[in-house]
Amino acid sequence: MSSVPERSDIDETYKWDLESIYADDEAWEAAYEAVSDRIEELAAYEGRVADDAATLLELLELREEIFRELQQVTTYARLRSAEDTRNQEYQAMSAKASALGSEASSAISYLEPELQSLSEAAVDSFVDDEPDLAEYEHYLDDVLRMKEHTRSAEVEEVLADLSEVTDAPSEIYSMLTNADMTYGVVEDPDGEEVEITQANFTKLQKNPDREFRERVHETFYDEWAGVRNTVGTSLEKAVREHATSAEIRGYDSARQAALDGSNVPVEVYDTLVDSVDDNLDVLHRHAELKAEALGVDQLQSHDLYMSLTGDQGPDVEYEQAREWVIEAVAPLGETYQERMAEGLDSRWVDVYENRGKRSGAFSSGTYDTQPFILMNYQDDISSMFTLAHELGHSMHSELAGDAQPWHDASYEIFVAEIASTVNETLLTHHLLDTVEDDALRTHVLDEYLERFRSTLFRQTMFAAFEQRIHERVEAGEALTPDAFDEIYADLKGDYYAPAELTGGIEREWERIPHFYYNFYVYQYATGISAAAAIVERVLEEGEAAAADYREMLKAGGSDYPLDVVELAGIDMASPDPIESAVGIYDEYLDEVAALLDLE
């Protein structure tokens, strides 16, 4: 039986270096206690924020000292927890760190309400009196911008205290799906038993044996059927929390509240959904090409991940993936390329799946640490692209951290998803330009098309789903598992009209953790649209365009997202990048159709 190894069976070379944060758990405990002891220092400034410029600067500098160390404490605990979600000691550490974060946030919850008691003229006067406050210009502007939606110090303290409770649906979902659930065992075409996991499900859906894919699909979604009431309840409570929090802060909707946090107009969201909806015929063409390539009259749900080539494609071992990803980013400059290579040699990446490990992939870290990338590498082309994706996030953090002070280094997700997909796009161009193996080239092209499909179209479908389920709650209507199924199936049917939806696919919403993230997913779609435009500029204009892009990365969170992206020459308030991305997707469909003699 093909099974997932225990973490102890994986070589240290392929594990991230968390000892670079704290030498051991005892050092973490000491850091935790040190932060805990200092939180009362924050409370001592309550009622004094607006006294004078010197007092405000003292508080902002104290906040940085304490919260920088708190970030270290929280990150170490969360990453240890992600290594094996079954480990109760690390789950306890993560919960303990989260509680400390809530305590710290509560202790300083008065800061923004008190700042908002000042007029813009008064803040400007403070900056004149204390020039070091000029470093906080964007932070102060952002706080004053949110004045209308910030409540009294007492209410803000209560909301901060409740953060652990309001995060509960997401935490419960994570524990259920990563630690407690299993997803079935199936027999592969060779008669071997294969355990289905969240990490390998997509890869198994690319197996050339259609009957096997169907068994995997039905077995997997049968497992989700057994927890639909639990997952449905957790998601419904998350949606209600989003809607209630927005109402408390005086927003018209949860969506408006979520986007206003990063000062992105809701029109950007609407432009994305409308533009993609207007171009579903291109997605339908992809599905029709896939049906022709597979030799079936109509695609079914278990065919949607299948390659246009009809097979799984060649293995790509991790070492080869590293080499190609490093080579691919050469257009971004030698310094960028060398730094990424050094990072890979410094154990940024936790490479392979192990039992209990959190599913998926992410890039994490703090202002004072190296990046940490969680992978569940599967020795395939898709995993190679995921590596490129997460390294884009990591390099973004590295460049922003070098260029910006702590309070301006953290960037919004809207910008983050551009950095990740720029790397994916460069990898595609590099492999198509340099690899001579026609089979591999075809699979690379197919992989990029799949990523376009799953990022631009699928994530926009998810965004439309999020909007509909929140609107239902905001209208006072019930959200049950049946309602989730109905809404999801309706959207899936529109987006994948040429396919027959089978095998429990209406329950797919259950396996998407991002629905707990409060209008997060649309940024994947805007990200790939901007990334395609940026790479096109870099490859056509060379170093000048690459320098603009690096300036975007270095900007971090020092300005609002649309303004940061504009540094790279892209206007995301316009539908042009989305229309351009759809055009690129269509051109690649032309290319792969010609290669495979389709249509």
- Residues that are catalytic: 390
Q: Which residues of 346-385 are buried (b: 16+ CB within 10 A; e: fewer)?
A: ebbbbbbbbbbbbbebebbbbbebbbbbbbbbbbbbbbbb
261's CB contacts (< 8 A; 6+ apart) are none
Counting runs of H as helices and runs of E as strands, what totals does the chain give? 27, 5
Would you state the structure tokens that stand for residue 420, as one six-digit string? 């990740």
d(CA 381, CA 445): 10
Distance of CA 333 to the CA centre of its chain: 25
Of residues 356, 350, 368, the one with CA closest to residue 89? 356
Q: Are 581 and 456 spatial neighbours (Cβ–Cβ below 8 Å)?
A: yes
Which H or E run includes 485? helix 481-495
Would you state the structure tokens that stand for residue 31, as one six-digit string? 């850091």
Place of tokens 């094996």: 84
Q: Are 411 and 396 spatial neighbours (Cβ–Cβ below 8 Å)?
A: yes
Q: Are 169 and 240 spatial neighbours (Cβ–Cβ below 8 Å)?
A: no
Q: Kindly report the CA angle at 34 between 31 and 40, in degrees rounded to 5?
A: 140
Q: Which residues of 442-474 are buried (b: 16+ CB within 10 A; e: fewer)?
A: bbbbbbbbbbbbbbbbbbbbbbbbbbebbebbb
Beta bridge partners of 300: 500
Q: How many other CB atoms are found less than 10 A from the CB of residue 165?
A: 10
Quickly list DSSP for 406-471.
HHHH---HHHHHHHHHHHHHHHHHHHHHH---HHHHHHHHHHHHHHHIIIIIHHHHHHHHHHHHHH
